[in-house]
Structure formats: structure tokens, C-alpha cells
Structure 1
């Protein structure tokens, strides 16, 4: 009995070690951010980083209703496609401490001080391909960049031209998208699949990514974090609909995600070499796959289905008002597509490590 108890204590301590180390890292992260004059966080992308911009758009790609947000502050839905906060919210918390969330730029509740600390221009269902956004009537990346220009104008009026340039130059820009380009565009619609092979489409998306980054650079951005696409074949909805087996990841989709991520990393290396822009890549693919294959490492239990509804096909509007699992913190996926805030926190921790090494290092 005594051996069992000591063993249990030892296992518990080992499980807590990463958390203890992470807690100690926070002070270092904030010190490095201050040393590198990080001013704010500016976000571009899809539902993985949209805190509610889609709430004001004429689209059905929304998550501003329960059970979305059930674990957010006050248990309220905000438009975030999760039970709580997103990775970008946790990154802001880690870097600044006094900022618990990144607000939506189009939010009616946006305050002038929010402009100084950072906003998200992201739009759920968007992608590197403009067609992807157009299919769902959401904000394309060119449109998000247009709002970035509006942001800069508002910032100049608020703090003056010189200060606005300083804020944007020292901002941490985060881009997270790409999944919709494949799942909601290439593999569902007949347009791009007739124009490109999968590999050619990957190259097309990377060229769009490069053009978008150049636009950000012209506006003043100098620090960029790109989040790679996750293992798409392991999403519950893909397993259920495309794979025919809810317990097995669809290998062909995962291979595309892995290939695409490799091309993004090569492009970022080229951009850094040609512009001097500091870039970092967050390997969401490896991280999510690790959580799925070794859930015990992260304190997780359920890896094959989401917490909302049956967990196999529901996301967005089909998740509205559905019953949920008892403990989302033990799940990788919140709905059949999107991670729980627990998984987003894990991704955020990896992102902060990558920023420390490649942007602050």
C-alpha cells in the first residue's frame, strides 16, 4: 500500500513537472518580451484565431452561441470556436500578463486602448486562397490586410504617427490558417481541384502566403509567427465523413498537411533571408498528433471525438444548443473540427517557446 502511494505521488509529481517549469518560464517570457520591446499582438487567420469578427458578418460561420464559450470568462459565447480561450489569448497572457484575451477588431466593444495592445483581424472559414473565404462569405486575407490598414490609421490618430510605426514594427504578428483551403475548398468544391493537383495547390497557397507577408512587411510588420496546419485527417469530422472510421486518422489528409507545412517552413526561411524579417513556425501538426497518440503526457483522455453533441460531425451551427461532455479539459477536440481551450493552451505554450528561440533569440 505504501509503495502504491509513493508511486502515485511520484507519477503525480512527474506529471506536474512540465506545469512547474512552465510557471517558472512565464517570468522569463515576459522579461524577454520587454527586452525586445514587444508592443502588441496582431492576428490574421481563420477560426483557430477568430475571437468574434464573424459575429458581424452575413455568414453562417459563427460560434457566438452556447455551448461555445461555456468555459470562457463568465461562461459566455464570444464567437470563439472553442469552449474557452484561443491560443492567441493564451499567448497574450503569457507575454503581457495584463492582457487575458485578444479582441476582435470588428467588435462593437473594442476600446481605444485595445488598439495599442493588439487585435485580431481573423475570420472563421478563411484561408490563404481568397476563394476559400468567398465560399463562406467571410473575410479573405486581402480584406483582413485592408482592416490592418484601417487599424494603422486609427492607431496614428490615437498615439501619433511615430508611436504607431513603433507599435507595429515591434508587434508580434500571428498567422494561423490553411485547413479550410483543403477541407472546405479543394476537397469539396470542383473549382481548384480541376485547376491544380494537390501539390500544385500547396504551392499556390504558399505563394499567396508569401504575398501576404510582403504586404504585412510593407505596412511595417517585422516579427511574424506562422502556425502550421494541424493533422487534418485526425479531425473527428474528417474521420467520420471522409475516412469512414471514426477511430482512425485519414492518412492521405495528414500527408497533405505535413507536406504543406514543410513548404511553409521553407518559404519562411526565404523571407527571413531576403527581408531580415524575424519569423517563427509553430508545428501544430506534430503537437496535436502527439496529444492524440500520447494523451497521458498532456493529461488528456479523449482524442477521437469532440465534446459537443455526438462529437463526430457537429461544429458551428450544428453544435448550437447541443449537450456536451462533462469535462472538456480532458478532450483534444471541442467540436468535430476545433480544439478545446486545453489543447489551445498546449499550442500556445509551443508558440511561446518558438518565439523565444526564433524571434527573441
Structure 2
């Protein structure tokens, strides 16, 4: 969540460095075009992916929060310094976010615009948009805390999107686009750190096990709803090792700023339940491609073995300070600011 200190905006939501962009590009290439367990479905050469449609939180937000009264926004410098034109777009990054990279690698377009972008062009709808919102989570209270766009509201925007598509290309073509597009769903981190572990009253009503079960059930329901709209290629991403991001290591990692085990354990527990839920859903529905994607393991490996990925010591990303801050030395650090991997 954003914080202000000494008149400066201090954001702790989620951005990346140029090194991280390289990692995400490689990561998605491996996922998109391999057939290993827990990898994305291999896209055959004779198959069409007309659009990439994205839901979730700040990891894939491209500016949907820009006109909202919320602290979960980053439409100001230095965000966007490596994006086209060097201007902040509302992406929680110095450059592209994962949705952009997926679309680019599939040859669809160079970036995925925010659905709520006032400059969105009608033709952008044909190749995909992102409905994601910084601060969103699978549990409704999570998004209320941050003031973002809840996942149910993101679905309402998607309904609106479908109507616009029908008005542009007709019902049959719209069905084709929805059926063959790649749907990306990324959420869960905010539920864990900004809801469960941040709010003692929540812990009076839930254990870690029951709370992560609620998250996983809501995620399954979300994917099933997308299926009901006609989506057949749905990728549901698990939670990252959230206890290893700078803000959590600074706040709860002790004097040596270690990864916070209880946060990571919650992520792993959620991922286990989410994976099982998606597996059941995939076997229950007719002709679906709904796949759980593990990002916890590869991201943890990157954090623990940074030199293998060309990063300097990730321990330096705290910059020897306990303040939560945006990082300006973008070329050598995996994290651009205190919350973003």
C-alpha cells in the first residue's frame, strides 16, 4: 500500500526493473511454448490467439486506477521511464508489465492497454485489454482496503467489453475472439499481506488455512465465471514468495531483513489449494483449458540465486535503509520499489 513520508510518495504496490522485464520475458516464453507439467498449453502453429485479456492486481494493471481516489496508483515519475515515451502510464513498473510481454511474445501487439484508459481506441478491444487493478484481491475486503477495482467489478467491465465487441464485429466473431483468446488471471498477494496478516480482526475469524481456502475457492469461482462467458484458454497464476519482497522483509524480516517465512508459507498453502481447485475445475468442465501456473518456485530461485539471472545482490535492494521506497538504480536491481518483484 502506498505510504507518504517527508512529502514524497512512497509506493509499496509492485514494479519491476529492466532486469526483471528480461526475467518475465524469458519466464513467459518458457511457459508459453513448453509442455511440461504446470506449464502453459503449447500454442500450435495453426492456432490463432486473437487477443490477450487480463484480470487481477497491480502486477498486470496498466492504468485502470489512474483516475480513482486510491493510494494504489503510480501515474507519476519515475514509473514509466522505460515505457514508450518515458511517461508514467499507471503501470506499476518502469516499463512493461507481464500482460504486455505475453501479448508481445505472441505477436499480437506491443502492450495491453487498460480498459478504463480514456484514450482507448475501439480497435484495441479486438486484440485485448487489461481489467486489472492495483490493490485487488480474491477476498472482497482486500480491494476495499486499497480502494481498487474488485474482481467482480472487473467482470462487469468484461461484460461491457463483450457488448462493445458485439457492436463492432457481431456475435459470431465475438464468440470466436472470446473462445480463442488467452485469459490471464494474477492475484492473491494483497489478500495475504494487506488483508490477513495486516488486520488482526480477520485473524480472529480465519486461520491461515481457512483464509487461503477462501482465496482459492474465490479464484476457482472466478475462472469458472470466465468459462461461462465462453473463455477456453485461462491461465490462473499462483502467488509469488510475497515474504521476500523488500517491503515485507523490511517490516517483518527482522534486523537481517530475511524473507518472512509465515508470509511465504501462506503463499505456498494458497498455491497448493489453488492448484487443486483448478485441476478439479479443468476435469469437470467440458473442453476447457484452465491451467494453474506456479510462479512461486522460479521467482524464489531468482531471489535466492540472482547472479544466475544477471542481477547484483538482491539484499542490496533495501539500500541499507528501513524506509519503504522506490528504487532509481533500475539497471541492476530485480525490484524497482519496495513491493514489486
Give the Å deviation of 1:312: 5.3
Deviations 1:302-338 (A, max 9, x none): 313548x8775435xxx4xxx711xx23212110111
Q: Report how far residue 224 of structure 1 moved.
A: 0.7
User: 1:59-98, aligned counterparts within 5 Å?
Assistant: 59-96=70-107, 98=108
Task: Tell me how large the CA RMSD over aligned residues is.
Answer: 2.3
For 1:93 and 1:159, how far apart are their aligned partners in 2? 23
Larger deviation, residues 32-41 vs 212-221: 32-41
Give deviations 1:61-99, integer Å, cap 9, x for gaps. Answer: 111101111111221111111111111111111012x51
TM-score relative to the length of structure 1: 0.80
Partner of 1:334, secondary structure, is: coil
Structure number with higher helix proportion: 1
Per the alignment, residue 54 of structure 2 pairs with: 43
Secondary structure class of the residue paired with 1:43: strand
Deviation string for 1:132-164 (max 9, x for gaps)?
A: 111122111100000010000001001111101
**Corresponding residue for 2:11?**
none
Give the equivalent residue in structure 2 for 1:120.
130
1:104, 1:120 within 8 Å by CA — same for their partners in 2? yes
> Among 328, 335, 338, which residue is 1:324 paired with?
328
Aligned equivalents of 2:333, 2:91: Cα separation in 1? 17
Counterpart of 1:279 in structure 2 is 290
In structure 2, the partner of 1:105 is: 115
Change (3 A) 1:84 1:312: farther
Q: Return the structure number with greater relative CO, CA threshold 8 A, min gap 6.
A: 2
Residue 268 of structure 1 corresponds to 278
Contact 1:236 1:246 in 2 (8 A): no
Q: Tell me which residue corresponds to 1:355.
A: none
Moved more, 161-170 or 187-196: 187-196
For residues 41 and 169 of structure 1, the distance between their equivalents in structure 2, rounded to whole angstroms, comes to: 11
* Bigger Rg over Cα: 1
DSSP 3-state at the match of 2:55:
strand
Contact kept, 8 Å, 2:78 with 2:328, in 1: the verdict is: yes
- Cα distance between partner residues in 2 of 1:246 and 1:85: 32
Q: How does 1:163-242 map to 2 (within 5 A)?
A: 163-242=173-252
TM-score after normalising by structure 2: 0.84
Partners in 1 of 2:119 and 2:142 — Cα distance?
A: 28
Aligned to 2:315, what secondary structure does the other structure show?
Answer: strand
Name the structure 2 match of 1:243. 253
Partner of 1:288: 299
Change (3 A) 1:168 1:110: same
CA contact (8 A) 2:74 2:91 kept: yes
